[in-house]
Chains A and B, each alone.
Chain A
Amino acid sequence: MSKNIENAIYNEKVAAGVPWSYVVKKGQTLRIIDLEGCQAVDTLFYNANDHEERYSANDTVREQGSIFVTTGTKLISTDDNVMMEITEDTCGNHDTLGGHCSAESNTVRYSHDTKYMHSCRDNYLFEIGELEMDPRDLTNNINFFMNVPIEEDGYLIIVDGISKPGAYVDMKAEMDTLVLVSNCPQLNNPCNAFNPTPVQMIIWDD
């Protein structure tokens, strides 16, 4: 089926700084659109029928031999299964190393004054609570549209994004997958150009 907005089975805007979760069924394709560009979309994946099986950053990057997620990347689970495959990507080089921001890590990264600023981990914990999952289910996530180059000596830092307004990434589910997102509210670094913006979530049937 061609991917037109008209034949999408789901089409919702996710506001800046909020969590979002949805089960993408096997065979369906999820598109995340970076509406205004340079947003960071912190994303985790779970087997919808067994949350103990989850996205594994280590297995995903090791099996493909590259630290970046892009077209052709298979997202591998902690149980060694393919959860999703990236089928199209108009941005490229999505981050797998940096994880998500939290109130606590902000105190270390920036200053203790940042402790009460909103964060991805708080979004995750809220959503995990609502879904009656376990906080231990949280793990290293993918940061779609976030730019973290790495140098030969290991040096890395979150730098200005390369994602243009309207850039998108498509991923096809290879199992029923619960996708958990924090549309990053960080205001202290350029992961989202210091200006969190909304993203669009669209799902198509096979």
Chain B
Amino acid sequence: MITTHKNIKPESILLDEVLPGGGRWSKIIKRGDKLRITTKDGLGSLSAMFYNADSTAERFNSADTVKLQHNAYFGRGRVLYSELGRVLFSITDDTTGGLFDAIAGISNPRIIKERFGEGDFEHIRNRYYKSDRENFLVELGKYGMGKRDMIPAINFFRKVDVKEGSKLELSSQRAEPGSYIELRAEMNVLLVLSNTPHVMEEGEYNPSDVQLTLFKAAPLTEDDFCMNFSPQSQRAFINNARYFA
């Protein structure tokens, strides 16, 4: 476990924990708080689904997010939209070099078995090979949510390249050890995470631990980097302000 975090005052930390490889996690991130997700060995790979915690019919919309930023890729300054023209999370920091993926989706038991072979509970107990589908259905169920709430996910720490205008390829680019992404909640956000290999990953089933550090952030200011990243972001933050008026 990492005990000191660059640019985070220890007294602002609300929660600091390790999400083990294969595991699932959920929490309501309160408006204005930040979550830093760190891959200690650089080999992390997380899938995320998230919702307006106060009205979960409003959820992350990867299509709107890609369309509104005119780009299929992500990085510091970008924002993650709901389908209601509002911002759920801002990407306030990213030391991974843009390792996000909103195209390839999540794994299911068939894919895990085809890629990694048998790895059932009966034989290997709690190291059994979990899929994203299992993780999300289980974790969403705790909030009374289910298959209808299984939205197109965003993946952290891996990127899928679009080659020659159409072909999908899992990028071999990996994060440096200790690199992180940082999300600021722009409303109360229910975040659900699944820590399993990227859906296009091959080789060993060996998901890596990630660290989740939740902390109080400084209040939003007029010159905020994410809010002013583009005219689209400025208008979206107006929508958020109107929502909370």
A, B co-complexed: yes
Chain A positions near chain B (C-beta within 8 angstroms) = 52-53, 56-59, 61-62, 65-68, 78, 80, 93, 97-100, 102-109, 111-112, 121, 134-141, 149-158
Complex alpha-carbon distance, A65 and B162, angstroms: 9
Complex alpha-carbon distance, A203 and B238, angstroms: 45
- Contact A58 B64, CB 8 Å, known A78-B147, A149-B165, A154-B162: no
Chain A proximity mask over B51-79: 1 for CB below 8 Å, otherwise 0: 00000010101111011101111000000
**Nearest CB of A to B160, in Å:** 8
Nearest A residue to B166 by beta-carbon distance?
A: A66
Chain A residues contacting B162 (CB-CB under 8 Å) are 67, 150, 152, 154
Complex alpha-carbon distance, A121 and B67, angstroms: 15
Does B85 belong to the interface (CB within 8 Å)? yes
**Nearest CB of A to B45, in Å:** 15
Q: Are A62 and B148 within 8 A (Cβ)?
A: no
- Contact A156 B106, CB 8 Å, known A58-B152, A66-B166: no
Complex alpha-carbon distance, A141 and B67, angstroms: 13
Q: Are B71 and A156 within 8 A (Cβ)?
A: yes
Chain A proximity mask over B225-245: 1 for CB below 8 Å, otherwise 0: 000000010011011000000
Complex alpha-carbon distance, A67 and B104, angstroms: 10
Chain A residues contacting B200 (CB-CB under 8 Å) are 62
Nearest B residue to A78 by beta-carbon distance?
A: B150
Chain B residues contacting A155 (CB-CB under 8 Å) are 70-71
Q: Are A156 and B105 within 8 A (Cβ)?
A: no
Does B202 belong to the interface (CB within 8 Å)? no
Chain A residues contacting B70 (CB-CB under 8 Å) are 155-157
Most buried by A among B168, B200, B238: B168
Does B18 belong to the interface (CB within 8 Å)? no
Listed A/B pairs (9) with beta-carbon separation below 8 Å: A56-B152, A57-B63, A61-B103, A97-B66, A98-B67, A102-B84, A135-B57, A139-B152, A150-B166
Q: Are B151 and A104 within 8 A (Cβ)?
A: no
Chain A residues contacting B151 (CB-CB under 8 Å) are 139
Q: Which of B119-166 contact A (CB under 8 A)?
A: 146-153, 161-163, 165-166
Chain A residues contacting B81 (CB-CB under 8 Å) are 105, 108
**Nearest CB of A to B195, in Å:** 18
Does B108 belong to the interface (CB within 8 Å)? yes
Q: Are B148 and A137 within 8 A (Cβ)?
A: yes
Q: Are B57 and A136 within 8 A (Cβ)?
A: yes
Q: Are A136 and B148 within 8 A (Cβ)?
A: yes
Q: Are B66 and A98 within 8 A (Cβ)?
A: yes
Does B224 belong to the interface (CB within 8 Å)? no
Q: Are A121 and B236 within 8 A (Cβ)?
A: no
Q: Which of B174-220 contact A (CB under 8 A)?
A: 199-200
- Contact A99 B67, CB 8 Å, known A112-B235, A140-B62: yes
- Contact A52 B148, CB 8 Å, known A61-B103, A104-B83, A150-B165: yes
Q: Are A62 and B68 within 8 A (Cβ)?
A: no
Q: Are B64 and A105 within 8 A (Cβ)?
A: yes
- Contact A65 B167, CB 8 Å, known A80-B108, A102-B83: yes
**Nearest CB of B to A74, in Å:** 15
Nearest B residue to A149 by beta-carbon distance?
A: B165
Complex alpha-carbon distance, A89 and B65, angstroms: 28
Q: Are A134 and B148 within 8 A (Cβ)?
A: yes
Identify B149's interface contact among A53, A67, A136, A156, CB under 8 A.
A136
Complex alpha-carbon distance, A110 and B104, angstroms: 28
**Nearest CB of B to A136, in Å:** 4
Which 5 residue pairs across A and B have the least CB separation, nearest first? A99-B63, A58-B105, A104-B85, A154-B73, A136-B148
**Nearest CB of B to A47, in Å:** 11
Chain B residues contacting A139 (CB-CB under 8 Å) are 151-152
**Nearest CB of B to A2, in Å:** 32
Identify A61's interface contact among B61, B86, B163, B168, CB under 8 A.
B168
Identify A108's interface contact among B105, B152, B235, CB under 8 A.
B235
Q: Are B64 and A67 within 8 A (Cβ)?
A: no
Q: Are A66 and B168 within 8 A (Cβ)?
A: yes
**Nearest CB of B to A57, in Å:** 6
